[in-house]
Structure 1
């Protein structure tokens, strides 16, 4: 596995990974309407372009494919964190998270935060995050629960 920073040319593969991961990995925690509303975010081209242009975006590459990616916004907020459905439970999330936390430390961030899905919550708890609040978001009229979580960065 290698890491690389994302470029605009990676966007199509990133969006596909985002949609396919949610559809397969999150299906036990969210119903079809919620998954459809959530994945509709892949169609917001400007949002994705902004992510690549303005955030620290780290891709995990295995055999020339994106196996997962994580993004750090404003040096302390994990905006996107997805592992390809075919590469789950192989330690990729741990490695991406370690790199994102190191990036936050480079900028002397005191805490790292994220809005975390029901599916990803156990992973983030294992990494030392605590739930600050349960959130009920509405996307296209559909309620989707996630959690505002944060972790104090230790130096």
Structure 2
């Protein structure tokens, strides 16, 4: 699936193609994660919370494992086939990660990724999706039909943080 989008800051049109994640995407996914947390999520969390969430660039190996552990993962890749956003789905309906690089934010890329995820979930016979959404992602998931079940407060590296347990029933 190709998603045509308006280019950032008037730079002209660009296109993002949705495709399955591949092992060779691991380094790019780590970069997207880092850029999303430090660029987008920093609007909703304190500098201390951002450092606790993502203190340094995540290891490529972490994302490499996630690409081979049985979950489904989709990326939105730019014209050079470089991932700009990604989403994943675990077998039990858990959406573990949705991260978008700031260069692709606001262009409909996350919505296109989510549409592919939900279609796959329905095809797999899942009846419920659930996520622990950050403050930055809460509104996005609400627009996709998820409902907040509870606000979750937790500690990471001595810093108090929060996210939202959300779910959506697929009928």
Same-fold call, TM cutoff 0.5: yes
Equivalent of 2:67, from 52, 73, 84? 52
Equivalent of 2:167, from 141, 150, 155? 150
Gaps of 5+ in 2: 1-15
Gaps of 5+ in 1: none
Return the TM-score normalized by structure 1: 0.92
State how far apart, in whole Å, the 2-side matches of 1:62 and 1:142 are: 35
Deviation at 1:23, TM superposition (A): 0.6
Return the TM-score normalized by structure 2: 0.84
Root-mean-square deviation (CA, aligned residues, Å) is: 1.6
State how far apart, in whole Å, the 1-side matches of 2:49 and 2:126 are: 33
Distance 1:139 1:41, change over 3 A: farther
State how far apart, in whole Å, the 2-side matches of 1:91 and 1:53 are: 27
Do the aligned partners of 2:154 and 2:162 also contact (CA within 8 Å) in 1?
yes
Structural mapping, 1:115-126, within 5 Å: 115-126=132-143
> What is the number of equivalent residue pairs in this alignment?
154
Distance 1:41 1:4, change over 3 A: farther
